[in-house]
Amino acid sequence: MQMPRYYVGVGLVLFSGAVANAVEEHAVFKSLDGGQSWVRFDTGIPQTTRTNTFGCSGEILFAGTDSGLFFIDDRSQPWKAAGGLATSSGRIISIATAGSNVFVGTADHGMLVSTDKGKSWVRNASLPVQKVRSLLLEDGRLYAGADTKGVFVSDDNGVSWRKLGGGLPVNAQVFDLAVVKGKLFAGLYSKGLYVWNDGNSRWTKSGNVSPLVLASSGDTLIAGHNPGGLYWSDDLGDSWFKGTGKNVGGKDKFPDILSDAPVWEAGANDKRAFAGASDGIYVSKDHGRNWTRTRRGLPKNGPGIAFLVTNQLVLASTVLKHDPAE
């Protein structure tokens, strides 16, 4: 995630000063028990490339990286670079899927679309956006968050688009999107959180939060700040509460992570929510109210920078930090 959605400027935050000579490597981990334990799951993806986003279409998994798109259709085999792309994809920073349709947002080449689970690709010429920061598919509607052009929506799988204009700040950068109770929210980082009103076709600022990332878990909206920790709302963003938590032993409250630490990514389903913070990956089993760090099998203090959360598995992209002087 460029600082926004998928980990931007993390090198500046994490690896300054005494560790300026550290070599940054990246990894993908898989959990089959809801985030209690993890195993390495990135054979075929270069360690030097960052994985920014995930997606799945049936049994096929997709990983969007700084080096393009990778997929895996047999989980006993390595990841493979996707072929048949209509153009050089460059950095992949967002993915959404619906059945056999796969939508891939790039940092410089707009959106790529596959209608056959990634076997072939075409460039979506109707979306007037080069940098697609966020993609969300909800109830048959595909939403795209742009770098400076706001939010677009398609009701026909990307064939045509219309802009959800009115109410957003000028040159709004849409870092993340989420839907809760049928309401669409856009996270604009320092410019705040906005909610779309179908009645008057306008965006309205919602709550006193500045989310870099958003996630929906059940009827709860979760917002991650950078810095500032994690917040949750169960009334469509009108009121917000800070998430709390304990250490892995369950004895002492951890004072830092949920007070002001940077949160670079979040992912959730109706059962669990995951947050990638500057010192590791955290999991919540109560829709963001309480958080616990998950450690077993993960690198020490490795920040989470992308998640895929399903009922069957969880994928997490993280950073491995190595100091040549050690």
Q: What is the pLDDT of residue 77?
A: 87
Does pTM top 0.85 for this prediction? yes
pLDDT digits (tens, 9 = 90+) for 25-42: 999 999 999 999 999 999
Q: Which residues contact 93 (CB under 8 A, 6 or more apart)?
A: 1, 2, 5, 6, 52, 53, 64, 105, 106, 107, 131, 132, 133
Strand, coil or helix: 208: coil
Q: What is the CA radius of gyration of the chain?
A: 19
pLDDT digits (tens, 9 = 90+) for 151-184: 999 999 999 999 998 999 999 999 999 999 999 9
DSSP assignment string, 157-201: TTSS-EE--SSSPTT----EEEEETTEEEEE-GGG-EEEEETTTT
Residue 189 backbone dihedrals phi, psi, to 5 degrees: 60, -120
Rounded to 5, what percent of the chain is helix, strand, coil? 5, 45, 50
Statement: residue 63 has pLDDT above 90: yes
Statement: residue 4 has pLDDT above 90: no
**Is 104 exposed, middle or buried (CB count within 10 Å of its CB: 0-12, 13-18, 19+)?**
buried
Alpha helix (H) residue ranges in the chain: 10-14
Mean pLDDT score across all residues of the chain: 87
Mean pLDDT of 211-232: 95
Domain 10-322, CATH homologous superfamily name and number: YVTN repeat-like/Quinoprotein amine dehydrogenase (2.130.10.10)
Statement: residue 252 has pLDDT above 90: no
DSSP assignment string, 216-242: EETTEEEEEETTTEEEEESSTTSS-EE
Do 5 and 134 form a contact (C-beta atoms < 8 A)? yes
Q: Where are the domains of the chain?
A: 10-322
